[in-house]
Each structure stands twice: as structure tokens, then as C-alpha cells.
Amino acid sequence: MFKKAITTVLVLGMSSFVSAGDDTRQISEESEVFVGVEIGGTMVQGDIDKSGTPLYDPNHSATGASIGIRLGAQNMQWRSMVMIDYFSKDVQTYERALIQVDYFVSPSNFSTTAFRPYIGINGGYINYEGGTADENGFTYGGQAGFTASVTQDIDFDLAYRYSVTTFDELDHIGNVAFGINYLY
């Protein structure tokens, strides 16, 4: 089930990258395609069943590192990407696939600024395990952050992402993520 959902999210996300220009290394108004990695500090808050007993901890939170990969396209005003990340700490684990769309708050020519703030929305699929809970479902939320161009081909990305789910066992996920994108 999880593999089918990941495949569906990837296919839908890839359709948003079709409009990328042929000469993606040229900094211009054309779209640029990128691939990247991210690492984040993540806080997961959910209901877990302690040691298989009927006693629940309704506000259990786990804080730790998450890792992820991303594939996307961006132009002067918009960025879209498919992102897959993983988190495991204490008894809480998740695998999440998101489609993220961001709007650059102060769009300008790529060659005139190295710092671009953005806001955006995300949605996708999550597999969550917490104690005896094992749920799969839809997740959605928003993010805000900025990109900083290091070179013509490398961007750094710092963001705060907040997501909620459609099932009861997981309340929310918040993470601060640092990403490195290679533009090609």
C-alpha cells in the first residue's frame, strides 16, 4: 500500500516539472530543475499506546532528526517539489511523501538576489507508527523559509514546515529543515 501511494505522489509531482526549460543552467525567467537533500530537527506529537497496555499518552512528543530527498523545479515566482522524508525516535516513526508548492514573497531576477523568502503549502501521504498504532493517510500543512544561492548551481534552503494528518493517532509534525539543492 505504501509503495503504491509513494508511486502515485511521485507521478503526480513529476507532472508539475514538465514545463522546465531546456537550458536550465542559464539563470533567467525559465524554470530550473533541482535535486536535493535535507536534514531537519523534527517534533512529532501523537497518541501512543504504552507497551501494549490500554493506557494512552495523548500528548506524547518525540524530538529528533529527520532526513529527506527532494526533486523539484522553480522559476522567479514559484517552486514545486516532491519530497520524501523519514523520522524515527523513541516509539514514533514516520515515512512521508509530500508535494510542496512555494511562492517567493519578493520575486525578482535570479541574478539580482541571493536571498529569497517564500511561503507555501504541502500535501501528501504518511505512514505513522507509534507504540501499537500503525496508520496510513493524508497529511497537509504549510511552510515558510528562504533560499540562498551559494553558486549558480547550488542553493541552500532553510524552512519551518508544519503538517497535520487525517487520522487520530498523530496530531502534528513540526520541523525545521536545512536543504541543499543542486540546480541543473
Q: What pTM, to 2 d.p., does this model score?
A: 0.76
Total domains in the chain come to 1
C-alpha Rg value of the chain to the nearest Å? 17
90 lies in a domain?
yes
Asked if 63 contacts 46 with a C-beta cutoff of 8 angstroms, the reply is: no
Helix (H) / strand (E) containing 57:
strand 56-74
119 lies in a domain?
yes
With cell 507555501, the residue in question is 120
Domain span including residue 80: 2-18+30-183
Q: What is the DSSP letter of 13?
A: H
Q: What is the DSSP letter of 58?
A: E
23 lies in a domain?
no
Q: Which residues pair with 56 in a beta bridge?
A: 49
Query: Any idea what the CATH number is for the domain that residue 113 is in?
Result: 2.40.160.20
Asked if 97 contacts 4 with a C-beta cutoff of 8 angstroms, the reply is: no
24 lies in a domain?
no
Alpha carbon distance 125, 137 (integer Å): 6
Alpha carbon distance 107, 116 (integer Å): 7
CA angle at 48 for the pair 47 and 52, rounded to the nearest 5°: 150
CA angle at 128 for the pair 124 and 129, rounded to the nearest 5°: 170
Q: What is the pLDDT along the chain (184 residues), one digit of tens a residue?
A: 545 544 444 444 444 443 343 333 333 457 899 999 999 999 998 776 555 544 456 667 889 999 999 999 998 889 999 999 999 988 789 999 999 999 999 755 544 567 889 999 999 999 998 877 788 999 999 999 999 988 889 999 999 999 999 887 888 999 999 999 999 8
AA letter at 140: Y
